[in-house]
A and B are shown apart, each in its own frame.
Chain A
Amino acid sequence: MIGLIGQRAIASLASLVVLMVMVFFLSRLTGDPAALFLPIDATEEMKQQFRTLHGLDRPVLEQFVMYVWDVLRLDFGESLRRARPAIDVVLEAYAWTLPLALITMALVVVAAIVLGAIAAFNVGGIIDRGISVVSLIGASAPDFWIAIVAIVLFAINLGWLPTSGVGTPWHWIMPVAVLFIRPFGLIVQVVRGSMLSALAAPYVKTARAKGVKNRPIIFVHTLRNAMLPVITVIGDQAAALLNGAVIVETIFGFPGIGKLMIDSILQRDFNVVMAAILVTAVAIFIMNILIDIAYSILDPRIRQ
């Protein structure tokens, strides 16, 4: 099991390295960084100064070595707009995104598994249909629209919740609720389908022939088998949240990584962008390993 996870970790690490190499070359292929970084009316002298300062006048290979060395020390340079190390700016924003993603996913997973399982047991019944309709709406509703409607309704008209920003637990309710909807809708459907096929599996027949009660058949025999495909989708959805919910964070003025990335791209703060790419990539890398571990705990056939 440890061998398997080690293998997967090495494979993920390799893709992380490839990503960093791509970031380096793409940021140099898209034109002269000096022209991109500096204002449009910057003089040639300013540009030259900029290039010398950032080593952009040296050979590419040397620049690459410098870049790798900097990445290893987590030194992405200063944020051009904030005059602080880029990595600090990014980690600060990530400290907002990470709990947002974790709280949302935790709620999604619990709600989706419970409701998906209930729908599967009552297949074709009124509860099943109700859950299916709700989850379909959730999976297909555009989140930016829901976010805006929620602000108008709960913050402006009813005045129950703050419109944007952070500070109190009340500030978290709308961002979490809006981010909850889509992955919830999707995962409920996957849980329901997966539970349905697991309930039709021959080993359920065996359990019934053994005289096992309904509750352990559902929660012990079936659920663990049904979770395998669900975990893949959970990982996929969690990755999207770890990348930063750009639109939702922007609408709610939530100072997370998604908002930071958009702001930095618009402000040409490339050091921050590069640091943000690395940090989110590492987060997704760690999450993939956790998914692999969850898989091998649930399914003994993977352990060999």
Chain B
Amino acid sequence: MTEALLTVRNLSVDFHTARGTVHAVRNASWSVNRGETLAILGESGSGKSVSASAVMNLLDIPPAEVVSGEILFEGKDLLKVSYEEHRALNGKRIAMIFQDPLGHLNPVYTVGWQIVEMMTAHGRPANKARARALELVTRVGIPDPEKALKKYPHEFSGGQRQRLMIAMALMLKPDILIADEPTTALDVTIQAEVLALLKELQAETGMGLVLITHDLGVVAEIADRVVVMSQGEIVEEGSVREVYHHPRHPYTRKLIGAAPGKGEIKQPATDAPALLEVRELAKSYGKFTALKDASFTLSRGQSLAVVGESGSGKSTLARTILRLEKADSGKALWKGKDLITMSPRELLSVRREIQMVFQDPTQSLNPRMSVYQLISEGWDIHRLMPDRKARRRRVDELLEQVGLLPEHAERYPHQFSGGQRQRIAIARALALEPELIICDEAVSALDVSVQAQVMALLDGLRKKFGISYLFIAHDLGVVRDFADMVLVMKSGEIVEGGPTEKVFNAPEHPYTRRLLAANLDPDPDVQAQRRQMAATAPS
């Protein structure tokens, strides 16, 4: 067997933190060759990005420490070469793109300058670099490339920024491109485009691609081989199809089992009375129409999902119903009473009945309040439960209901994991015994295994207490598993709505069909089939 172009062998990296040493990567070995795509799959904290950072010499040492191992590139150990030698390889032979292209592009320089710098930093003349930049920016599909090079990062959309990052990475025709969660921050349709672009460019240049991701669908779509990481260790490795169909390690099995979009679709109850009726609700910000004549009915005990890409008006819909934003026109009838015109006093009591759970529990929980204070705060606002002992008992009860322990009440949010924090946020919502919980991307920031647990919790609460949900999400798999009714939004408009089964199995609107087609399936065979169909279908 010939030596791979890039080989990581027995790499161990520790992070020395104030709370002790973390073994971020233990004995990891992987390799990638020209023309090949390797996916490194893992959840947050699995150490999946660490070995790639070591390849690029991007680890901050300290707190990081490379304990053992070697990183061989063309037979040379990158851990032993001088800083200058490593710098000369970065960008030129091995390039890297990142998850958040807005943060990873310098805000105060034009994208043209930044792309050109990739070549000038390696001693190439600026005029050649400009010509190559123009060629590549055109190649990655940026409209009006001449002008685009003179613009700043904030003037592009997220997908365009990632395309520009890709153009920058390919300036010197690197042998290997490392992509760290390159599509995680993008909408599904944009994700599909960017992945397709990466594949095309790989075919054109023959570069090796290392793709770091948490998303089984991305792996299924683009990778040849996959290594699965958990708690710093590689637990499984093999071809994508082999690993998906015959996972050997229990962790891989758990990960594949937790992938959303595989469960049975729920049927909506037909006879339940209406809880929330929204009629022609509209909202504009200046000339921008955020919400256009939205109408729907949410019945008691139902889970109504609102899906759509960023900027489609999902959150504006929720915020307008809750009167966190002032509606321009339309009605939102809560048990027959219009929320939009309700007096502040009435609104306060309705606010108890409708609770909200947000995407990022790190930001939605005040870090200076204990769990007990967070959960009981609503009782102070609504003047409920004056008895301290009863409060204490109820908080314990709520914590148990969301799968936490009573002794957690005295702790603070930072002492919990992301999934646990979201449980605290749910307990806080439950404390006021709501009839409707609005979940705004409530499981989007969570790892798939945790996501499945939190969704099971929400579903259990629905069965137990008859709570209804307005479930805002962009992940179609999650929506398919959770909701019994679905609304599809695009540019502020509800383009399609109906029972989940109908929307998923017989979508009417072309946009819904596009959305479903772009949604990646974790099964590599399904993805391969779809690609084939797309290739043969008349366009």
Interface residues of A (CB under 8 A from B): 201-203, 205-213, 216, 221, 224-225, 298-301
Check B122 for interface membership: any CB of A closer than 8 A: yes
Contact B152 A301 (CB under 8 A): yes
Return the 8 tightest CB-CB contacts between A and B, nearest first: A211-B90, A211-B91, A202-B103, A210-B91, A203-B106, A209-B96, A202-B104, A300-B152
Contact B108 A207 (CB under 8 A): no
Check B107 for interface membership: any CB of A closer than 8 A: yes
Check B57 for interface membership: any CB of A closer than 8 A: yes
CA distance A225 to B109 in the complex (A): 10
Which residues on the A side are within 8 Å of B96 (C-beta)?
209
A208-B117 CB under 8 A given contacts A202-B98, A202-B100:
no
Known: A208-B57, A210-B118, A301-B154. 13 other contacts (CB 8 A): A202-B103, A202-B104, A203-B105, A206-B105, A207-B106, A209-B95, A211-B87, A211-B92, A212-B87, A221-B109, A224-B108, A299-B107, A300-B152
Which residues on the B side are within 8 Å of A206 (C-beta)?
98, 104-106, 165
Which residues on the A side are within 8 Å of B152 (C-beta)?
300-301
Check B399 for interface membership: any CB of A closer than 8 A: no
A203-B90 CB under 8 A given contacts A209-B95, A210-B168, A211-B121:
no
Contact B98 A212 (CB under 8 A): no
B residues 73-126 in Cβ contact with A at 8 Å: 87-92, 95-96, 98, 100, 103-110, 117-118, 121-122
Which residue from B90, B106, B108 sits with its C-beta under 8 Å from A209? B90
Check B58 for interface membership: any CB of A closer than 8 A: yes
Check B332 for interface membership: any CB of A closer than 8 A: no
A301-B121 CB under 8 A given contacts A202-B98, A209-B96:
no
User: Interface size for chain B: under 10, 10 to 19, 20 to 34, or 35 or more residues?
Assistant: 20 to 34
Check B56 for interface membership: any CB of A closer than 8 A: yes
* CB-based nearest B residue for A212: B121
A301-B107 CB under 8 A given contacts A209-B91, A209-B96, A211-B91:
yes
Q: What are 13 sample pairs from A and B whose C-beta atoms fall under 8 A apart? A: A201-B103, A202-B103, A203-B107, A205-B98, A206-B98, A207-B117, A208-B57, A209-B56, A209-B96, A210-B118, A212-B91, A212-B117, A299-B107
Which residues on the B side are within 8 Å of A205 (C-beta)?
58, 98, 104
* CB-based nearest A residue for B121: A212
Closest chain-A Cβ to B158's Cβ sits at a distance in Å of 14
CA distance A208 to B109 in the complex (A): 16
Which residue from A202, A212, A213, A299 sits with its C-beta under 8 Å from B108? A299
- Of A201, A205, A301, chain B has the most CB atoms within 10 Å of the CB of A205
* CB-based nearest A residue for B89: A211
* CB-based nearest A residue for B86: A211
Which residue from A202, A208, A225 sits with its C-beta under 8 Å from B90? A208
A210-B106 CB under 8 A given contacts A300-B152, A301-B152:
no
Which residues on the A side are within 8 Å of B104 (C-beta)?
202-203, 205-206
Which residue from B98, B106, B118 sits with its C-beta under 8 Å from A225? B106
Closest chain-A Cβ to B274's Cβ sits at a distance in Å of 45
Closest chain-A Cβ to B98's Cβ sits at a distance in Å of 7
Which residue from A201, A208, A224, A298 sits with its C-beta under 8 Å from B56? A208
- Of A201, A202, A210, A213, chain B has the most CB atoms within 10 Å of the CB of A210
Closest chain-A Cβ to B23's Cβ sits at a distance in Å of 23
CA distance A210 to B100 in the complex (A): 16
CA distance A213 to B88 in the complex (A): 9
Contact A210 B154 (CB under 8 A): no
Which residues on the B side are within 8 Å of A209 (C-beta)?
56, 58, 90-91, 95-96
CA distance A221 to B109 in the complex (A): 8
Closest chain-A Cβ to B366's Cβ sits at a distance in Å of 23
Contact A300 B108 (CB under 8 A): yes
CA distance A205 to B103 in the complex (A): 10
